[in-house]
Amino acid sequence: MDFSLEEEHEMIRDSAREYAERVLKPASTEWDRAEALSDEGLAAAAEAGFMGLTTPEENGGTGFGNLHSCLMLEEINRWDAGMGVTLSVHNSLVCSLVARHGSEDQKGRWLPRLACGELLGAYCLTEPQAGSDAASIRCRAEKSDGGWTLKGTKSWVTSGDRAGLYVVYAVTDPDAKPGYGIGAFLVPASAEGVRAGKKEEKLGIRSSTTTEVLLENVFVPETDVIGDPCEGFKIALDALDGGRLGIASQALGIHRACLEDSLSYAKEREQFGKPIAEFQAIAWKLADMATSLDASRLLVHRAAWLRDQGEICTKECSMAKLAASRACNEAAQDAVQIHGGAGYTTEFRVEKYFRDARITEIYEGATDIQRLVISRKLLR
């Protein structure tokens, strides 16, 4: 059993680390306050190849796998979780979805533009009344001449106000049994009847914009229906496996930030005549943070490796997301505690990590949904 990374894995990790320290580290606090990423930051990510990382080479990408993506996302999220989720959604829920399930025509028309950063991808599944129960969406797709007409509202859409291409799920057969009668559609932001709605004001990942997307009689040609128009929910579930790896990797990055900043602070901060790192209460917190980080990373890398082998790994992806997000939140809480009163101010970054960490247990399937997925696989 070999736990070492291959040379190209290390290359992606190092490239992402250089980008993160050069572009994200000096800008992340400003972006958090402005509640927006800069165009220059996204352009730099595209130039580095991060927007087409898992897109096949024949479609304009670099053709790397899920493990490469996880390594990249850990480094990005070490400094800015808003950029992290933006790239995660773009790659795992849009680019990889089209690459895995799209027609050759769809791949040829959309992937090169997504991979080079000309278009940013967004994923439209959740609705106001359909969160964890994603199969209960109400957005309708009615058959029309040469395609389908979409009507409805999508909520909690990452990059909803700046995306160039949406993956939209809508009901195509309201009489079908649960989980069927749902289609997946590619909808350009330029299509008539599409517009971004309310922008959410969030606790964390504030540099990533989250909005409603409103669909008012939007025509989608048959050429932009992904797969069978009644079996889109299967595509959604497969995409979410990859999405959960992305958020698990986000949790790794935030967790690592908590550990590294806490180590540095604990070595410098003195009380009772010595650094607080020498007190057992602090040292044990650091030990637990480091141990849970390594354990989470092993689960994430295992799931990514399995997905790269073409294996069905829904349970492993959920395990990785469950473990990494819970450990991340515990690390964020300990990081603030280690920093004491200073950790409750904006002078130190740990207050941002604390805010950013919380979402990792909520989106791409809340913690209890991951437990449900895992237990069902165990009991089947």
Q: Which residues are catalytic?
A: 364
Q: What tokens appear for 59 in the block? A: 């479609």
What residue ranges in the chain does DSSP mark as E strands?
121-124, 140-144, 147-158, 165-171, 182-188, 194-199, 210-221, 225-226, 270-271, 274-275
User: Beta strand 121-124 with 274-275: parallel, antiparallel or unpaired?
Assistant: unpaired
Distance of alpha carbon 370 from alpha carbon 361, whole angstroms = 9
Report CA 137 to chain centroid distance, whole Å.
Answer: 21
Q: How long, in residues, is the chain?
A: 380
d(CA 38, CA 87): 14
Phi and psi of 287, rounded to 5°? -65, -45
Sign of CA dihedral 18, 288, 206, 67: positive
Chain mean position to CA 99: 17
Instruction: Give dist(CA 164, CA 122) in Å, integer.
Output: 8
